[in-house]
Amino acid sequence: MSLTDKTVLLCTCNDTMPIDRDALARNLGAQSTAVHTAMCQKDLALFRANATGDVLIGCTQEQRLLGDVVEESAQARTVRFVNLRESAGWSAEAPRSTPKMAALLAAAALPDPEPVPSVAYKSEGQLLIVGPLDSALRWAETLHPALSVTILATEPSHDSELPTARNYPVFSGRLVRLTGWLGAFDAEWAQENPIDLDVCTRCNACVKACPEHAIGWNFQVDLDRCKDHRACVSACGVIGAIDFDRRDTARSAHFDLVLDLQREPSFSQHQPPQGYFAPGADPLAQAKVAAELALALGEFEKPRYFAYKPSICAHARAKKTGCTQCVDICSTLAISADGDHIAVEPHLCMGCGACTTVCPSGALTFAYPSAAELGTRARTLLGAYERAGGRDAALLLHAADAEPALASLARRGRGLPARVLPLAVHHIASVGIDVWMAALAWGATGVAVLATGREAPQYLAALRFQMSIAQAIANAQGYQGEHFRLIDARTQDIGTALWNWPVALPPRIAATFAATTDKRRTLALAFDHLAQHAPIPQAAIPLPAGAPFGTLAVDAGRCTMCLACVGSCPEAALLDHAEAPQLRFIESNCVQCGLCATTCPEQAITLVPRLALAPEARAPRVLNEAKIFACTRCGKPMGTEKLVLAMIERLRGHSMFSGADSLARLQMCADCRVVDLVTNERTVDIRQI
């Protein structure tokens, strides 16, 4: 990519990394390229003078300082930063890193992703603290000056003491249900103790009256000590806070925030809703959460990370369930079934994108950034690297939480190999087989995905499965080697996994197509290019069960050509014929959702996972066809022979059709059946017409 309108300012960081200014200037074609030794120190004045126009700075450590200098100088229109030091310069192969630096700079010069719609939250500071009374009181005293606190004591210890001032409501009971998100939590609980703390005036009359001392300064009855004297009820008198026969135990309220101090958190999913905090028993974790809660006031926004196209969703049809992969994998429980489609609650979605990666049809797509925008960045990296003389490029996809580990690798180890091009993504689970296969077609020898261990376990399982599919497709066509690698930082050394990764075989010629937001379209472009240049051409490649590509096997002996499967197919992979009883199939459209097999009343359809690479896969082919059954009297077509004969066989034992003439009429069209009845019978049974 050309940087003709950019000013590129680089630094060798006190000569700890080599930078070939002439080679970079030649390859990038930048408006101006300057290399400093200490851009943040002795060269700062020169840096300020050079920072004009659209500026691209090859340093992220001093981003704050350098950004302030550029802003103060008022000579720059825009400024961007790219990490060359940890990504390329601090490496055992630093002398060979010029193509990599050129690639990183070219990618950094790309325009920002298109803006996406936002999801709004509003918090007025209504905080529910739920858990043991003593710890809940401790944090309520700390937080109530900043937030509107309510306590739900699920474990009202007999030794706990309520404060003398009623600065916030205190309830006791069992939390029955908690739903919602930041600014919209709904809590339901059961008031199980005879004393209702919301009504209690804390006058101490019940405490003094109880002969068993079953009521402590928490103003709750210890039912194990209580001997049913009910002296407390009399002492409470007109206040009426004590009721041993209470039936209206259901309570509910709305909150903006929740601090959950219970032993078992209310939300068990990997990523609970925003605004919900369950720090456990660790005092340090509780203090950190308290600091966050104090700031959780006001209006907030986040991107709407996904886009949904229900018309091609393969979840269900006519109350028959097909694909549930997005529902199953979501770690926030944001996705649920909604009739024939799905519903995604954007307030619960945390932007992992795993649902879009496993979606076989592309009905769910990741929007922040889109696959097309990420593909442009990957293609720019690979293209700039190759044009600068680089060879055997591999992509390393990583999220922001992996950057400290990569920086440590550069400082303490060998750094990244010169051929490994890091590409930051919003979440590693948001990138799947479409971008991986496109990268292979664009000339990458492989794609590595770096997991830090903070991801939901099901995400890694899904990535491994998709990699097994991608690897099978590449290897079957003669692209030898390991093209796709998932690196789990919990169990693997990152440096070892990258430096010991043998170079795999890419296509002879790099593809030039651009990625699209249509997953199946991008995959088709990648598959076509890889097939065109395959060392071992294949017409079809067998794939494991669950793969999103495949054909169907139809048992002609069972199939009655009812064509229920055609109506159930959400991808238009199954078709009928306007002029003949045929079941036709377009294999490239099939996502192996299984709706056709589930819908088929004869159970005549079997899924066969594979990838068909021949052009015929895009054209309709006949899976089954049937003979026409004609009226035995006039020859008018009545339907398929198998369907009509099956109907006759089922009716053969019915009392209405016990005679030979009656069975014979079933082989006639409706008009001929009436004529035959009138001609041959004196008494016409209207039920046989």
pLDDT 10s digits, 106-122:
999 999 988 999 999 99
Main-chain dihedrals φ then ψ at residue 68, nearest 5 degrees: -65, -40
Decide if pLDDT at 415 tops 50.
Answer: yes
Which pLDDT value is given to residue 689? 47
d(C-alpha 38, C-alpha 637), whole Å = 88
Q: Which residues contact 556 (CB under 8 A, 6 or more apart)?
A: 604, 624
% of the chain beyond a pLDDT of 70: 98
Main-chain dihedrals φ then ψ at residue 302, nearest 5 degrees: -145, 160
Decide if pLDDT at 256 tops 50.
Answer: yes
Cα–Cα–Cα angle for 627, 628, 633, nearest 5°?
135
Mean pLDDT value across residues 538-548: 97
- Please report which residue ranges of 262-310 form alpha helices under DSSP H: 283-294
Main-chain dihedrals φ then ψ at residue 202, nearest 5 degrees: 60, 40
pTM of the model: 0.89
Lowest mean pLDDT among 16-30, 191-205, 340-354, 600-614: 16-30
Query: Are the C-beta atoms of 496 and 484 separated by less than 8 Å?
Result: no
> Nearest Cα to 597, choosing from 626, 618, 568?
568
Decide if pLDDT at 320 tops 70.
Answer: yes
Dump pLDDT digits (tens) for 144-170: 999 999 999 998 887 889 998 999 999
Main-chain dihedrals φ then ψ at residue 419, nearest 5 degrees: -85, -10
Mean pLDDT value across residues 605-609: 98
Mean pLDDT value across residues 282-296: 94
Decide if pLDDT at 220 tops 60.
Answer: yes
Decide if pLDDT at 87 tops 90.
Answer: yes
Lowest mean pLDDT among 153-157, 376-380, 483-487, 586-590: 153-157
- In this prediction, residue 565 has a pLDDT band, given cuts at 50, 70 and 90, of very high
- In this prediction, residue 658 has a pLDDT band, given cuts at 50, 70 and 90, of low
Which pLDDT value is given to residue 673? 87
Q: In what order do the strands lie in the sheet with 148-155?
A: 170-172, 148-155, 126-132, 257-260, 276-277
Dig out the tokens for 519 from the structure: 């997953």
Helix or strand (DSSP H, E) at 6: strand 6-11
Query: Are the C-beta atoms of 86 and 410 separated by less than 8 Å?
Result: yes
DSSP string, 39-95: TTTTTHHHHHHH--EEEEES-STTHHHHHHHHHHHT-EEEEEE---IIIIISSTTGG
d(C-alpha 581, C-alpha 149), whole Å = 69
Decide if pLDDT at 686 tops 50.
Answer: no
3-state secondary structure of 649: helix
